[in-house]
């Protein structure tokens, strides 16, 4: 099988690493890829949000299966173009990817499906939105409706902050994404993520995880794309997992199918859990990054079979074989991230680290120049390890971090604190 993966982050390195181990995989191309991916696959330059260009490339290279990593190509309808061309593809249609691309759409689906989530109102006008905020009071959550690279959510602890967020959003801070806003009830509790493969009709959960969104230790500092993750998430007990599937995920998948826009791909559900009850915070239409890295290390080669069954509509016959294991990933980011940071700094020590089914350094933002690995992004490396316990995975991962020589990078020292 010739496989094309779209994307360039740690998520795509982890997907490529898992897929590559499956004997079914003949040729593996990742577009655009990064320095870590280049060590295990061919990398190709390709405008990945241009459906026509992706189809042409896939046809020219006799690609049998395309796996879409990030949300950009999904929201641009790349999966639709591939399916129209008869190419097997993992990832939802543009219409189904609205579960991530539009917060108001997701709210409407939850209403129709009876799925527990925060109370909300939807506005296209700043004056009405402000009036609503003053009436509701704080804490309150203001969200840009569209894709805003994870930055379109303001959890306001006071009314003034919420009103300022409205001014920012309608003032164009988030471009078209902020032309509509959703204002939500503030939910208290513990957050966790659940990753569920859906083939339009059948579902197959592939693991729970917890992310660390804040940049610094003790959950301080600005929000980021995620500074580390582990799987499984202990807060997702069997009982809560069952509830989440029954009350939230299954009704969502059924509602999407009923509307003639079945969801095919991975549904990344974010929950807020309090007093044994999960409520939906958000859906994403892709694997989380860095959550994917821990899931792939745990799944290994079978990931390809599962993604393929998902794309073919045969998930009812698929099964995930779990070891009773734990995985953790630590994100190494460039100093300054998520603000301004330098690119091109030299990273040493990677060659001496183990690379096996228990220890992997996935590259998130790197390039190779003259035989050296250089930082080429904000989040740069994902140091990932697996063990019989979370403590073991933690110790292995931090041991690897110690051996990486990159004075221009930083990481959190407390990944996993909630569970350990």
Structure tokens at 51: 């459906």
List CB contacts of 258: < 8 A, sequence separation 6 or more: none
Q: Which span (59-67, 286-294, 306-314, 342-350) binds ligand GLY, by CB under 6 A?
A: 286-294
- Looking up tokens 């729970």 gives 208
Choose the one of ligand GLY, ligand AMP, none that binds residue 156, judging by a C-beta under 5 to 8 angstroms depending on kind.
none
The closest residue (CB) to ligand GLY is 226
Choose the one of ligand AMP, ligand GLY, none that binds residue 282, judging by a C-beta under 5 to 8 angstroms depending on kind.
ligand AMP
Q: Which span (12-20, 62-70, 85-93, 281-289) binds ligand GLY, by CB under 6 A?
A: 281-289
CB of 181 to ligand AMP, least distance (A): 12
- For ligand GLY, give the closer residue by CB, 285 or 311: 285
Q: Which span (113-121, 241-249, 285-293, 404-412) binds ligand GLY, by CB under 6 A?
A: 285-293
* Residue 220 CB neighbours (<10 A): 9
Classify burial at 309, counting beta carbons within 10 Å of its beta carbon; exposed 0-12, middle 13-18, buried 19 or more: buried
Among 178, 207, 226, 228, the residue binding ligand GLY under the rule CB under 6 A is 226
CA 244 to chain centre: 19
Counting Cα atoms < 13 Å in the Cβ hemisphere of 62 gives: 4
List CB contacts of 391: < 8 A, sequence separation 6 or more: 420
Which residues are bridge partners to 141 per DSSP?
155, 184
Residue 288 interacts with ligand GLY (CB under 6 A): yes or no: yes
Q: Which of residues 136-195 bind ligand GLY (CB under 6 A)?
A: 150
Residue 71 interacts with ligand GLY (CB under 6 A): yes or no: no
Q: Which of residues 196-225 bind ligand GLY (CB under 6 A)?
A: 211, 225
- Looking up tokens 């035989």 gives 371
CB of 274 to ligand AMP, least distance (A): 11
Integer-rounded Cα Rg, in Å, for the chain is 21
Q: Which span (105-113, 159-167, 288-296, 330-338) binds ligand GLY, by CB under 6 A?
A: 288-296
Q: Which CA distances in Å does 77 have to 49, 82, 152, 200?
A: 8, 9, 22, 17
CB of 285 to ligand AMP, least distance (A): 13
SS3 state of residue 289: coil
Choose the one of ligand GLY, ligand AMP, none that binds residue 187, judging by a C-beta under 5 to 8 angstroms depending on kind.
ligand AMP
CB of 351 to ligand AMP, least distance (A): 36
CB of 180 to ligand AMP, least distance (A): 15
What is the binding site for ligand AMP (CB under 6 A)?
A: 118, 141, 153, 155, 184-187, 191, 270, 281-282
The answer to whether residues 6 and 68 touch, using CB atoms and an 8 Å cutoff, is yes
- For ligand GLY, give the closer residue by CB, 51 or 225: 225
- Distance between CA atoms of 169 and 176, rounded to whole angstroms? 9
Q: Are strands 203-211 and 277-284 parallel, antiparallel or unpaired?
A: unpaired
- Looking up tokens 């993966």 gives 5
The count of chain residues that interact with ligand GLY, using the rule CB under 6 A, is 8
Residue 12 interacts with ligand GLY (CB under 6 A): yes or no: no
SS3 state of residue 211: strand
Among 231, 284, 366, 376, the residue binding ligand GLY under the rule CB under 6 A is 284
The DSSP element (H or E) to which 101 belongs, if any, is helix 98-101
- Distance between CA atoms of 207 and 234, rounded to whole angstroms? 11
Residue 365 interacts with ligand GLY (CB under 6 A): yes or no: no
Choose the one of ligand GLY, ligand AMP, none that binds residue 334, judging by a C-beta under 5 to 8 angstroms depending on kind.
none
Choose the one of ligand AMP, ligand GLY, none that binds residue 226, judging by a C-beta under 5 to 8 angstroms depending on kind.
ligand GLY
Residue 415 φ/ψ region, left for φ over 0, alpha for ψ in the -120 to 50 degree band, beta for the rest = beta
CB of 228 to ligand GLY, least distance (A): 10
Residue 337 φ/ψ region, left for φ over 0, alpha for ψ in the -120 to 50 degree band, beta for the rest = beta
- For ligand AMP, give the closer residue by CB, 141 or 177: 141
Q: Which residues bind ligand GLY (CB under 6 A)?
A: 150, 211, 225-226, 284, 288-289, 291
């Amino acid at each position: 099988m010739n496989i094309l993966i779209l994307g360039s982050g740690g998520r795509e390195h982890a997907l490529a690493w898992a897929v590559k181990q499956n004997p079914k995989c003949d040729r593996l191309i990742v577009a655009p890829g990064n320095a870590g991916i280049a060590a295990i696959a061919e990398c190709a330059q390709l405008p990945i949000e241009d459906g026509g260009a992706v189809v042409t490339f896939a046809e020219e290279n006799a690609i049998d299966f395309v796996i879409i990593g990030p949300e950009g190509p999904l929201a641009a309808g790349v999966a639709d173009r591939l399916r129209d061309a008869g190419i097997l593809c993992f990832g939802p249609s543009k219409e189904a990817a609205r579960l991530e691309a539009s917060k108001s759409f997701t709210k409407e689906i939850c209403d129709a499906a009876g799925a527990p989530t925060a109370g909300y109102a939807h506005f296209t006008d700043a004056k009405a939105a402000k009036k609503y905020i003053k009436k509701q009071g704080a804490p309150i959550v203001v969200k840009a409706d569209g894709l805003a690279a994870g930055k379109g959510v303001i959890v306001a602890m006071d009314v003034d902050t919420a009103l300022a967020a409205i001014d920012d959003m309608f003032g164009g801070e988030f471009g078209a994404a902020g032309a509509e806003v959703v204002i939500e009830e503030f939910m208290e509790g513990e957050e966790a993520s659940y990753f569920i493969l859906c083939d339009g009709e059948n579902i197959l959960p592939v693991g729970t995880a917890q992310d660390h969104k804040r940049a610094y230790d003790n959950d301080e500092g600005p929000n980021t794309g995620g500074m580390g993750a582990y799987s499984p998430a202990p807060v997702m007990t069997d009982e809560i997992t069952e509830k989440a599937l029954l009350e939230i995920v299954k009704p969502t998948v059924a509602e999407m199918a009923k509307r003639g826009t079945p969801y095919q791909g991975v549904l990344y559900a974010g929950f807020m859990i309090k007093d044994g009850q999960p409520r939906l915070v958000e859906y994403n239409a892709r694997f989380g990054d860095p959550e994917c890295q821990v899931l792939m290390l745990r799944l290994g080669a079978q990931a390809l079979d599962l993604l393929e069954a998902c794309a073919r509509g045969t998930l009812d016959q698929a099964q995930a074989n779990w070891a009773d294991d734990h995985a953790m990933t630590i994100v190494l980011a460039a100093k300054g991230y998520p603000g301004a940071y330098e690119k091109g700094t030299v990273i040493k020590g990677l060659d001496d680290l183990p690379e096996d089914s228990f220890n992997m350094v996935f590259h998130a933002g790197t390039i190779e120049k003259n035989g050296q690995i250089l930082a080429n992004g904000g989040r740069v490396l994902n140091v990932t390890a697996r063990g019989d316990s979370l403590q073991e995975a933690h110790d292995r991962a931090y041991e690897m971090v110690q051996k990486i020589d990159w004075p221009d990078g930083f990481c959190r020292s407390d990944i996993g604190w909630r569970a350990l």
